[in-house]
Structure 1
């Protein structure tokens, strides 16, 4: 009760209203009209209009030709100015591009952030086709290779908090043998299992480690077997490349963190 009183004491209604709009729009793919936003947030059209005008003027929201409102990429850009995130992405991206050229496969990098597993970097496979996940997407913690790696290499207390905080995706189910799966991932140092979302895809996932044994991210290749080229690397060859990339990136990030302390 005391916490509720404290929270009420420091309320900022205008800020809450703006954040409510941003969070609502982040969950829609095609934008919403002013009326739809007002109804969803149980606010009057006038107060929503004023807040939308400010968000549009500050480039957080854009008004489309059919008078609906959508998020811009400004929040995404702000997140990537954060030094630790920017450094991880800037170091990982060229290394992931080299992997894509060598393997003929796509790859993406994910982190756990405030209850969500978020894709922060992605590279396409070379050529005219590629299986890719959009940067900024939220994916499952319990039913993806990336999620299993993040859980497996987290410390015990951190793992417990991740599971408690996680906002589950639609249709996300934790396997009955999750503990055994995570133990196997820890033992062999990677996850390799069929995708629970897309048929014929094998998720090959490894951790990106920082100093003091802390897991920073998970690196995943959604492997698809090529049948149009006899020279295309096979699954085991691609897995070896994923493991090598994860180790190289872990060494890079560990060295950078060590230099920060000296």
Structure 2
């Protein structure tokens, strides 16, 4: 009973309504009407209208006719966070050089509560390749970058991330994942054939802090051409990616 009273004493209903709206809009790419938002949240239109008016005035939400969509303000604010801003500032020039050298796209991903978020993505000079949109949230388990973000951690953090990322998976699946993590740790990076897209091969290296824990994963998705045009080999991409990840890791470690 005491816990309920304490939770009630420190609750902020108006703030919770606003956050609920932001979260539901972040999950919907095409936007929602007031009625759709109210239905999804189980609230009445009056409550939703007042919150939306405030969020629109503060530029967290945009109103196009009868449809409300999330703006880029939350994403912009996240980049003002010093560690993220520093990581992006150091990473972008290195990523541009990498993409130009191998003629493949590359992206930078960070871990967040059971998923990974793309915080930067660079196109190759010809603009072709398998691109991931900045802001995308991607499942951890099937990906090379997800393996890297979990493998290169202290044991306690690694175990926590495994539990968060593999919720609902069977014991056999978790055991297999742990085996693959050991292989990735021993190898120093992840290099795997996609389980979702034909002809796609992903190579990912960790960006390490001063404690040798992965703060991000730098990834090159290689999409095989079928027109006979010459491409960089897997070994060439691995070498270039290793050099780029080491350079970025050194800069991040020095920044601390």
User: Which TM-score applies when normalising by structure 1?
Assistant: 0.91
Is the 8 Å Cα contact of residues 116 and 167 (structure 1) preserved in structure 2? no
- Structure 1 runs not aligned, ≥5 long: 258-262
Summarize deviations over 1:221-250 as a string: whole Å, max 9, x none: 111234546543112111111111111111
Structure-2 separation of matches of 1:4 and 1:156:
35
Alignment of 1:72 onto 2:71: yes
Structure-2 separation of matches of 1:51 and 1:230:
54
Structure-1 separation of matches of 2:86 and 2:4:
38
Alignment of 1:61 onto 2:61: yes
Query: Which one is further off, 230-239 or 133-142?
Result: 230-239
Is the 8 Å Cα contact of residues 146 and 205 (structure 1) preserved in structure 2? yes
Equivalent residues in 2 for 1:211-222 (5 A)?
211-222=210-221
Alignment of 1:185 onto 2:191: no
- Structure 2 runs not aligned, ≥5 long: none
Is the 8 Å Cα contact of residues 149 and 218 (structure 1) preserved in structure 2? yes
Q: Which residue of 2 aligns with 1:13?
A: 13
Structure-1 separation of matches of 2:119 and 2:71:
17
Is the 8 Å Cα contact of residues 141 and 168 (structure 1) preserved in structure 2? no
Equivalent residues in 2 for 1:15-30 (5 A)?
15-30=15-30
Structure-1 separation of matches of 2:118 and 2:15:
27
Q: Secondary structure at the match of 1:197?
A: coil
Structure-2 separation of matches of 1:146 and 1:86:
20
Structure-1 separation of matches of 2:181 and 2:64:
45
Is the 8 Å Cα contact of residues 119 and 136 (structure 1) preserved in structure 2? yes
Structure-2 separation of matches of 1:167 and 1:26:
23
Q: Which residue of 2 aligns with 1:160?
A: 159
Q: Say what the alpha-carbon RMSD is for the aligned residues.
A: 1.9
Is the 8 Å Cα contact of residues 129 and 222 (structure 2) preserved in structure 1? no
User: Which TM-score applies when normalising by structure 2?
Assistant: 0.93
Q: Secondary structure at the match of 2:249?
A: helix
Structure-1 separation of matches of 2:99 and 2:190:
19
Query: Which one is further off, 130-139 or 156-165?
Result: 156-165
Is the 8 Å Cα contact of residues 114 and 139 (structure 2) preserved in structure 1? no
Is the 8 Å Cα contact of residues 142 and 175 (structure 1) preserved in structure 2? no
Is the 8 Å Cα contact of residues 92 and 120 (structure 2) preserved in structure 1? yes
Summarize deviations over 1:74-109 as a string: whole Å, max 9, x none: 000000010100000110011000000000000111
Q: Secondary structure at the match of 2:242?
A: helix
Number of residues paired by the alignment? 253
